[in-house]
Amino acid sequence: MTGDSRRRHSSQIVDGIPKAPARAMLRAVGFGDADFAKPQVGIASTWSQVTPCNMHIDGLAKEAASGVDAAGGKALIFNTITISDGIANGNEAMKYSLVSREVIADSVETVAGCQGFDGLIAIGGCDKNMPGCLMALARLNRPAVFVYGGTIRPGRNHTDIISVFEAVGAHARGSMSDADVAEVERTAIPGPGSCGGMYTANTMASAIEALGMSLPGSSAQDAISDSKRDDCRRAGAAVLELLERDIKPLDIMTREAFENAITVTIALGGSTNAVLHLMAMANTAGVPLSLDDFTRIGQRTPVLADLRPSGRYMMSELVEIGGIQPLMKRLLAAGLLHGDCLTVTGRSLAENLADVADYPPGQDIVQPLDRPIKADSHLRILRGNLAPEGAVAKITGKEGLRFSGTARVFDSETECMQRILDGTVQAGEVLVIRYEGPKGGPGMQEMLSPTSAIMGRGLGQDVALITDGRFSGGSHGFVVGHITPEAMEGGPIALVETGDRISIDAERDEIVLHVSDEELQRRRAAWTPPPPRYRRGVLAKYAHSVSSASEGAVTDRFD
């Protein structure tokens, strides 16, 4: 391929006399004469001071830019937004969280489309900015590499952000003092990097590496490390190679690649949010993927990693034993991954794994395939009269596989949180939090505060929580989210009354409301949707355009 064909997009912006104004503008930001003949690579940085997961990404963006420039391209760094679930969780602010994924995808697409970048590097370090970046890369379909910002180190006494959330519940129960909470608050977050367990950020980073869109090893590096800086520089060289060979994201983001991402997510015990985000990314890539694919793959895929929130170890400890590449090699050898999928190295997944060494002997973070933590997936797609279009549960088995209890209904997360903390919620109850779906919330907020409060109050084995909202990757306990259709759309969850009996069976993948069809019909006839909570601004716009959670809750689906 010639240099000109690598400059398919930038040539339209900067070549020829009519484009002198664009060149004049670019000269002011540092372009010299020779730079106009180079492929332009946009570097989408999610740098922000608002959260530790992204506070270092400006430095990583500069490393990636140096990699691009050293490989013969011309890098331009631009920013998109990010938000922090760790800060927003537990109040109205959280309604903006999933919305931010769409804003990020839209903004990266908008800048790249306007600027005429030939290739892209996107650097993300938090739950929503990673799928948001991948959605933008798929929409643009220009040679691209994703770089993960890297994980945080553990806090004092092996703590992390979830330790702080659970301290709040423990304080309400009386088992932690004000001083104890203050100590955890001051020491759990020691510096830059994404939340430290196999929560949503580390889950999505791992899924993206398995998808083939980041360089091998990118998902398992400390945020502040030589290996992360090296990953950034190598991404710069990789995107030039992809430009040379005209390998684009949609060549990589195939159905088989998404199956690899799902398999690795399950083996790592990853977050329920991966279901939502992988569905959204697949939708954007035009890859048919349904909730049933998670069930099918989950039947053959064991959970192997003993990582938080349900397990013992943190991501930085997985980093120390080699990250996810040895795990992927084991899965490939067992026939659980598609080895011929193309990746951003320009080689296949199997070729990338060929020289990867196995985990060191004696480690017990990743179990062998013949001694799994759970023989099949912890991510369960449940159906039944309460969720006819599906629901997503994270059932590790530690909480049991079945739960039957009496419904206690809340029309918002805030109301539920108050009743957990004041002791109203009792053992044997199924807490129903509704009108928190994509349209109803709007924004499908995470229920990390209630699940942490349940744990903190010592009710983890005795209370289930179901919702048309979703969960943090840090949530654990007997929890079912993404119930569809959501309450705002008139789904059966809108018809539940306090005192009804609800059964959840994670072996039969069922969620059942034990109320007769006649009674449900009577309730439906009396039901009217509540007024929208927002009539102006981005939340109103989002509620108007968002699709069902069972389709990934996307806002750009018009077919």
What is the nearest approach in angstroms of ligand FES to the Cβ of residue 449? 14
Helices (H) and strands (E) in the chain, counts: 22, 12
Taking contact as CB under 6 A, which single stretch among the options 25-33, 78-86, 294-302, 395-403 is the one that binds ligand FES?
Answer: 78-86
Min. distance of Cβ 408 from ligand FES in angstroms? 29
53 binds ligand FES (CB under 6 A): yes
| List 42, 67, 73, 86, residue binding ligand FES (CB under 6 A) | 86
Smallest distance, Å, CB 194 to ligand FES?
4
378 three-state secondary structure: coil
Considering only residues 186 to 205 of the shown chain, the ones binding ligand FES according to CB under 6 A are 194-195, 201
> Around Cβ 232, how many Cβ atoms within 10 Å?
28
Are 82 and 113 spatial neighbours (Cβ–Cβ below 8 Å)? Answer: no
Q: From the list 63, 127, 160, 509, which residue makes contact with ligand FES (rule: CB under 6 A)?
A: 127
DSSP string, 434-480: -S-STTTTTS--B-HHHHHHHHHTT-TTT-EEEESSB--TT--SEEE
126 in contact with ligand FES (CB under 6 A)? yes
Supply φ then ψ for residue 112, to 5 degrees.
Answer: -65, -40
Span interacting with ligand FES, options 55-63, 81-89, 139-147, 208-216, rule CB under 6 A? 81-89
Assess 85 for contact with ligand FES (CB under 6 A). yes
Q: Is 512 in the site for ligand FES (CB under 6 A)?
A: no
Token pair listed for 71: 């490989």
Using the minimum distance from each CB to ligand FES, give the nearer residue, 274 or 515.
Answer: 274
**Which lies closer to ligand FES via its Cβ, residue 51 or residue 163?**
51
Report the alpha-carbon distance of residue 159 to residue 164 in Å, rounded. Answer: 8
Q: Residue 50: which residues within 8 A CB-CB, separation 6 or more? A: 82, 83, 84, 87
Burial class of residue 230, CB neighbours in 10 A (0-12, 13-18, 19+): middle
Q: Check if the beta carbon of residue 471 is closer than 8 Å to that of residue 395.
A: no
Q: What is the per-residue binding string for ligand FES in 135-174, x denoting contact by CB under 6 A?
A: ----------------------------------------
Q: Burial code of 395-424, b = ≥16 C-beta within 10 A, e = fewer?
A: bbeebeeebebebbbbbbbeebbebbbeee
Cα(384)–Cα(103) distance, integer angstroms: 33
Min. distance of Cβ 125 from ligand FES in angstroms?
Answer: 6
**Minimum distance from CB of 204 to ligand FES (Å)?**
9
- 84 binds ligand FES per the rule CB under 6 A: yes
80 forms part of the interface with ligand FES (CB under 6 A) = no
* Binding residue for ligand FES, selected from 48, 51, 445, 449, defined by CB under 6 A: 51
Closer to ligand FES by Cβ: residue 53 or 123: 53
Smaller CB separation from ligand FES, 73 or 192: 192
Judged by beta carbon, residue 160 or residue 429, the one nearer ligand FES is 160
Sign of the dihedral defined by the CA atoms of residues 360, 362, 364, 366, in that order = positive
Establish if 484 lies at the interface with ligand FES (CB under 6 A).
no
Q: Tell me how far, at minimum, the Cβ of 150 lies from ligand FES, in Å.
A: 11
CB atoms within 10 A of CB 172: 16
Q: Rule CB under 6 A: is residue 60 a binding residue for ligand FES?
A: no
Query: Within 10 A of 526 (CB to CB), how many other CB atoms are there?
Result: 8
Length of the chain: 559
Assess whether the previous peptide bond of 530 is cis (omega < 30° from 0): no
| Interatomic CA distance for residues 212 and 342, integer angstroms | 7
Rank residues 127 and 509 by Cβ distance to ligand FES and give the closer one: 127
State which residue, 73 or 86, has the beta carbon closest to ligand FES: 86
Least CB distance to ligand FES at residue 201 (A): 4
CB-based contact 536:410 (threshold 8 Å) = no
**Cα 209 from Cα 262, distance rounded (Å):** 11
Q: Nearer Cβ to ligand FES, position 472 or 550?
A: 472
Residues 124, 81 contacting (CB under 8 angstroms):
no
Helix (H) or strand (E) holding 262: helix 255-267
Segment interacting with ligand FES (CB under 6 A) among 84-92, 175-183, 377-385, 540-548? 84-92
**Among the residue ranges 82-90, 134-142, 230-238, 266-274, the one whose residues contact ligand FES (CB under 6 A):** 82-90
Q: Which residue among 107, 214, 219, 472 is the active-site one?
A: 472
290 is catalytic: no
Q: Closer CB to ligand FES, residue 128 or residue 338?
A: 128
Give the 3-state secondary structure of 64-129.
HHHHHHHCCCEEEEEECCCCCHHHHCCCHHHHHHHHHHHHHHHHHHHHHHHHCCCEEEEEECCCCH
- Rounded to the nearest whole angstrom, what is the least distance from the CB of residue 331 to ligand FES in the complex? 25
Of 80-88, 214-222, 353-361, 526-534, the segment contacting ligand FES by CB under 6 A is: 80-88
For the bound state, the minimum distance from the C-beta of residue 193 to ligand FES, rounded and expressed in Å, comes to 8
- How many residues of this chain interact with ligand FES, rule: CB under 6 A? 10
Binding site for ligand FES (CB under 6 A): 51, 53, 84-86, 126-127, 194-195, 201
Active site residues: 472
